[in-house]
Structure 1
Amino acid sequence: MRPGTRLRVARLGPADVVRLGGTGLRTRPLRVFLSALGIAIGVAAMIAVVGISGSGQAEVDRRLDALGTNLLRVAPGQSLGGEQARLPFEAVPMIRRVPPVRQVAATGTTSAHVYRNEHIAVGRTGSLDVLAAERNLLPAVGGRVRVGRWLDAATEKYPAVVLGARAAQRLDVYTPGTRLWIGGHWFSLIGVLDPVPLVPELDSSALVGWPAARTYLRFDGHPSLVYVRTQDSQVASVRAVLPATAYPEKPGEVRVSRPSDALAAREATESALTGLLLGLGGVALLVGGVGVGNTMVISVLERRPEIGLRRALGATRGQIRTQFVTESLLLSLVGGLGGTLLGTLITAGYAADRGWPTVVPAWASAAGIGSTLLIGVLAGLYPAVRASRLSPTEALSRAG
């Protein structure tokens, strides 16, 4: 070296910094694995919560698209005397006259109960209702037959019955042709329905034809619920005129609701639960960050000889800080990537088990990895500053 030449500090390139930080991780694989596992669990929890919630919402949207949000439910409310009101006989044909209305179908409540045979105790009803049903009910509410067939022009006049999904499960009856004891008469099972998401009251009901209910079950003919399908663009306007249309004399005794609102409310409830679970995932991620910080502090204490030697060979304090911050970032990044993959697999497995579409928002993955990098910087900053403040002589003297 020529006299008077100033020494220049060698600069570490990005590849050198990453290689140097990775060397520190490779020398302590078990500790690195456990620290990264803490980060991965927190990220996986957050990704899985967001993914499962997103998949559930996608399923709700898919079902609403299939079932439609244009179904309205007309039911009797309370009379001025506090008693249960009744819809008039003419409610269904009057509603059918409204121009935007596409389909109208009704059910009527009977006093009968359904049993597997005549020897079952009268009080053991299993909370199952027997409803009179119009034969156009199933297409109006978007229902489907799982086994057998639905009521038609012939079977609605005779003692034939169709069971809802939950009713069939409670009675343990699924085979068409099975006889059921209803209202003191034998009825023949002709079909079992799939669950009807928009009209869950049908799931726990035994459905008989409207004429058969009047003949065999002393049904009075008053509709208890009327289901109305209307044009998508006219739902609000039809909803406004339905009370006066269904019961012109007493429109205040008519309640109109939209079943799809219940699904939307359930989706909002699940969103609130998602927020709570995200908080728990954030706590787990914070605990993982504390683990990374603890690992880095111990790493600084154990690697004093290395720090002293590097400082003696000319490494600057900034290079020492960069080395340990990079090591902390790499450790957190490994946990973040592993947690993102694990959370995605959990979401996919759960969604596949429930028959849902798998949805993992890109922002959730980006937020998971981004939060781990932030935690890596924060967790590695103090140990890095502490390491950079060690003088070469102090570090080497404590090595022994």
Structure 2
Amino acid sequence: MRRDRTRLRPARLSLRDVLHVGSAGLRARPVRVVLSALGIAIGIATMIAVVGISSSSQAKLLRELDALGTNMLVVTPGQSMFSGQDTKLPEEAPGMIGRIEGVERVGATGAVAHSVRRSEKISPDETGGIAVLAARGDLLETLRAGVRSGAWLNAATGRYPAVVLGDVAARRLGITAPGRQVFIGGRYFTVTGILGPVPLAPEIERAALVGWSAAESLLGFDGHPTAVYERSADARVGAVRNLIPQTANPRSPQTVSVTDPSAALQAKAATEGAFSTLLLGLGGIALLVGGVGVANTMIISVLERRHEIGLRRSLGATKGAVRVQFVTESLLLSGLGGLAGIALGSAAVAAYAAAGGLPWVVPLWSVTGGFGATLVIGTLAGLYPAVRASRLSPTLALHAA
């Protein structure tokens, strides 16, 4: 007579049971959990903060580029074929450049051989690094610059002793509002306006700008522009750049220099995160140190809980169940540290962005990648303690207890 034999199989732990037994050790030792998770939190916070601050700075630069545009070129006198000989742009250069197909706006400045001072009692040698420039009325629109206070030069003020100061020039002269006077070329000029920042033309920020006509009649300006700023349609920038030299100075196109001032901002935006590599490496080291701390905590936990492990094994828990318990505990410990690190890093980026007037940007990949790294480290840190716990003999564990 055949007797049916029923093979006994160990019960499997549900996900709820796994989380319950895995978190039991964390609930029993909260202080140790906080200290162990701190290393993970510091590493993740460092990585999130480094990436977020770099991304926020880059976002600000890209916004500036969008606002300022990348379709402006600056035309200046280039190098002469004969050393020591100065070159000049023709007086007609701005008008000739404005007739190139695709050019939308043209502005120009010309260097004036005078200094600007608060009064005639100050030595002419005390220039303060401020240049005096003749300016055409359409310069402001071409640069897409703004007047912080007062008004820009117009057809009327451009013929009289009126001056507009760049942002840096006004600070160096100690002038905070229009209406004051400065001494230029033996006479006083009234300040009618103060410009805001001009990122694409920092030389304008350090200049005192007078009208083109006033510079010729009052300051002996020769009428030759030293810088021509032009904006063209985005699709025509390359073609316009190729046509400018022979158009601006048909007799000596080789003496004309054409530059793109937005290239510096574009390069800065592209390399904004270059110096973050070292800090990311330091964050990675801190993360590894935190992982070592988690592993150490788990090993100590196994040694302290041999009686619990032996009791569970004697009641039927398999080696696999014990391994799952301690790996889950390690993952929960690392995950808590990772979540705390993400919160701390994001808060640091928010504080930095608020202090510097930057947009708050924390890339999603940095958050998911950082948290994924904590889970990987938690798994690796818990493997050895979990295997060690599963190999404990129930009899020896209970006897040792």
Paired residue for 1:280? 282
C-alpha distance in 2 between matches for 1:310 and 1:246: 90
Shift of 1:5: 5.5
**What secondary structure is seen at the aligned counterpart in 2 of 1:271?**
coil
Shift of 1:94: 0.9
User: Which runs of structure 2 are paired with 1:1-400 in the superposition (5 Å)?
Assistant: 6-83=7-84, 84-399=86-401
Amino acid at match of 2:175: V
**What secondary structure is seen at the aligned counterpart in 2 of 1:270?**
coil
Shift of 1:318: 1.2
Distance 1:82-1:306 versus aligned 2 partners, 3 A rule? farther
C-alpha distance in 1 between matches for 2:126 and 2:226: 24
State the superposition RMSD in angstroms: 1.9
Question: How many residues get paired?
Answer: 398
Range with greater deviation from structure 2 (202-211 or 233-242) = 202-211
C-alpha distance in 2 between matches for 1:189 and 1:269: 39
Q: For structure 1, list consecutive stretches of 5 or more residues without a partner in the other structure.
A: none
**What secondary structure is seen at the aligned counterpart in 2 of 1:162?**
strand
Report Cα offsets for 1:130-169 as digits up to 9, x if no partner.
1111111000000000010101111111111111111112
Distance 1:76-1:392 versus aligned 2 partners, 3 A rule? same
C-alpha distance in 2 between matches for 1:307 and 1:189: 85
Report Cα offsets for 1:311-341 as digits up to 9, x if no partner.
2222222111111110111111111112112
CA contact (8 A) 2:101 2:240 kept: no
Report Cα offsets for 1:14-52 as digits up to 9, x if no partner.
111111111111111111112212211211222222222
Report Cα offsets for 1:52-97 as digits up to 9, x if no partner.
2222222222222222111111111111123442212121111111
**What secondary structure is seen at the aligned counterpart in 1 of 2:229?**
strand
Shift of 1:280: 2.5
Report Cα offsets for 1:206-259 as digits up to 9, x if no partner.
111112222333222211111001011111110111111111122122111111
Report Cα offsets for 1:362-394 as digits up to 9, x if no partner.
222111111111111111111111222221233
Shift of 1:183: 2.9
Shift of 1:109: 1.4
CA contact (8 A) 2:62 2:269 kept: no
Distance 1:311-1:111 versus aligned 2 partners, 3 A rule? same
In the superposition, the TM-score normalised over structure 2's length comes to: 0.94
C-alpha distance in 1 between matches for 2:310 and 2:119: 89
Shift of 1:263: 0.5
Amino acid at match of 1:76: P
Report Cα offsets for 1:149-202 as digits up to 9, x if no partner.
101111111111111111112222112111112233211111111101111111
Distance 1:184-1:294 versus aligned 2 partners, 3 A rule? farther
In the superposition, the TM-score normalised over structure 1's length comes to: 0.94
C-alpha distance in 2 between matches for 1:308 and 1:206: 86
C-alpha distance in 2 between matches for 1:85 and 1:300: 82
C-alpha distance in 2 between matches for 1:289 and 1:340: 16
C-alpha distance in 2 between matches for 1:387 and 1:369: 27
**What secondary structure is seen at the aligned counterpart in 2 of 1:119?**
coil
Q: For structure 2, list consecutive stretches of 5 or more residues without a partner in the other structure.
A: none
Amino acid at match of 1:68: G
Q: Quote the sequence identity (%).
A: 59
C-alpha distance in 1 between matches for 2:241 and 2:161: 35
Range with greater deviation from structure 2 (239-248 or 120-129) = 120-129
Amino acid at match of 1:28: R
Amino acid at match of 1:299: S
CA contact (8 A) 2:55 2:273 kept: no
Amino acid at match of 2:147: V
**What secondary structure is seen at the aligned counterpart in 2 of 1:57?**
helix
C-alpha distance in 2 between matches for 1:218 and 1:303: 93
**What secondary structure is seen at the aligned counterpart in 1 of 2:163?**
strand
Distance 1:82-1:269 versus aligned 2 partners, 3 A rule? farther
C-alpha distance in 1 between matches for 2:233 and 2:363: 33
Shift of 1:3: 11
